[in-house]
Structure 1
């Protein structure tokens, strides 16, 4: 484990005893963490949303019997006197499950979730490395 106190104390970096039996943690630069977060946000739009819809029961073939989607559809039908209202949440989710997201929806979600993922990755990277705006001269390697 290396610890550098930087220019504040004037001491040089010296190896400290390792508590991980020789295994060193890898420091990933903040821009890499941001890029990984952005990729995760984009992958969520392309793969995660359709997979989540299918897992709940909104499939390309229709609503899966015995699924959460079937329970939602039943509740919506009872509440509306026997039919599912056009434009309701069940109808919207079934449409998304059957046809997928439109190009416009994918673009909109990518423009939202990509930057959010990048910001989350950057914050995670800053916390992992221990960097802050107050003191950027310290380096922590665990």
Structure 2
């Protein structure tokens, strides 16, 4: 594995973990609850309609709100870092392929 790949994978992992809380806030999953009129509010409304008026524990909406309120758990941080590392590796691979042409 080359230095460029290591840098890309590391940057992807660190960047994803650092930006996850920002992305949750932008979507409306905040530390004080779901923001009115946000994407999160729309997701919560759809989930409630689909589940007869409530949001099911363990659902995507519940998990995202939990992360927005309390931050990412260790497992979620690892998953986000893994996804970011994969994205970094993919971008690095694409850049190398484009650079060859």
Q: Which of the five TM-score ranges fits, normalised by the shorter chain?
A: 0.7 to 0.9
The aligned counterpart of 1:47 is 18
CA displacement at 1:112 relative to structure 2: 4.7
Partner residue of 2:28? Answer: 57
Residues 54/123 of structure 1: CA separation in 2 closer, same or farther (3 Å cut): same
Task: Give 4+ residue runs of structure 1 displaced > 6 Å after superposition.
Answer: none
Q: How many matched pairs? A: 101
Structure ID, larger Rg: 1
TM-score for both structures, normalised by structure 2: 0.77
Per-residue deviation at 1:53? 1.2
Match of 2:38 among 46, 67, 91: 67
Query: Post-superposition shift, 1:66?
Result: 0.8
CA distance, structure 1, for counterparts of residue 46 and residue 79 of structure 2 = 31
Residue matched to 1:102 = 73
Provide the TM-score with structure 1 as the length reference: 0.58
Where structure 1 has 5 or more consecutive residues not aligned to the other structure, the ranges are: 1-30, 132-142
- The answer to whether the Cα contact below 8 Å between 2:17 and 2:80 also exists between their aligned partners in 1 is no
Tell me which protein shows more strand as a share of its residues: 1
Q: Which has the higher contact order (CA 8 A, sep 6+)?
A: 2
Across the aligned residues of Structure 1 and Structure 2, the Cα RMSD in angstroms comes to 2.5
